Amino acid sequence: MLSVNTNSGAMIALQYLNQTQADLSHTQNAINTGLKVSSAKDDGAIYAIAQNMRGDVAGYGAVADSLNRGMSAIDVAMSAGQSISDLLIEMKTKALAASDTSLDTTSREAMNQDFVALRDQITTIVGNAVFNGYNLVDGSTTQITALASSDGSRRITASAENLSLSGSIVTISTGATISTQTGASTMVAIIQQSLTNVDSALAQLSSGSKKFSIQLDFAQKLSDSLTGGIGHLVDADMATESAHLQSLQVKQQLGVQALSIANQAPQTILSLFK
């Protein structure tokens, strides 16, 4: 039917052209952002899943920071323990030399002064072994805790070791000296036991550091896997989008031509009234 009031062909052509325009806009957005799902408008379900996964990735970033801080605190404690172990070896040498019965009083007193300086250095090292407010060798805390899961429900801990003088590990008293031959002889055994204890404590700290390191590697792998999963859900395939763009551009041009032809159809009515 020919009518000047209703042009069905033009309306159909316009509908298809509008759909092509919408598809073209979506494809151009995918090319601009690199995402086939950049907002909830594109695909609400996929967007929600991706956002939840992004939250987990952000959570694992916080886990990694927490574990790194914990590892750094343990590393500081281990450095302090190694320094104390070295000092104990020097102290043992001084005590052993001072236990010699043939040593004169002046020489023994000189060795005692060195011994006292080394002894006090242990206290200095213990007091300075602080990282991020944590001191794992002065007895102020029994353990250090770090995050182990993105939701904070699981945590990982490492034990602290008290390396202060007069403790259960370093059994040398705060006032220990080697000013006498007898005292020096007794001190040799005390230092040796302390040295054995410190080396054992270092092994425990090393075990805690290893535990944190393993968890950090695992958290990073989980984060990488989630990031890859998000990409599979929302990333645009640029090769596909490029081909789609060219197809839609051709379709758009054809749609414009089809609409133009449909709009010219009523002109044939004029020929009926010539």
* pLDDT tens digits for range 170-189: 999 999 999 999 999 999 99
Indicate the pLDDT class of residue 77, thresholds 50, 70 and 90.
very high
Same domain? 212 vs 182: yes
pLDDT at 14: 84
Residue-wise pLDDT tens digits, 117-163: 999 999 999 999 999 999 999 999 999 999 999 888 999 999 999 99
Q: Are residues 225 and 247 in the same domain?
A: no
pLDDT band at 264 (very low <50, low <70, confident <90, very high): confident
- Cβ partners under 8 Å of residue 202, min gap 6: 78, 81, 82, 85, 161
Q: Taking a C-beta distance cutoff of 8 angstroms, is the pair 172, 191 a contact?
A: yes
Q: Provide CB contacts within 8 A for 67, sequence distance 6+.
A: 146, 147, 148, 156, 212, 215, 216, 219
Within 13 Å of residue 15, how many CA atoms lie on the same side as its CB?
6
Which range of residues forms the domain containing residue 249? 8-34+236-271
What does pTM read for this prediction? 0.77
**165 and 243 fall within a common domain:** no
How many structural domains is the chain composed of?
2
Q: Are residues 196 and 84 in the same domain?
A: yes
**CATH code: domain of residue 142:** 1.20.1330.10
Same domain? For 152 and 247 the reply is no
User: Is 170 in the same domain as 227?
Assistant: yes
The chain-wide mean pLDDT, for the chain, equals: 90
Give how far the C-alpha of residue 110 lies from the chain's centroid of Cα atoms, to the nearest Å: 51
- Domain contains 48: no
Question: Is 80 exceeded by the pLDDT of residue 239?
Answer: yes
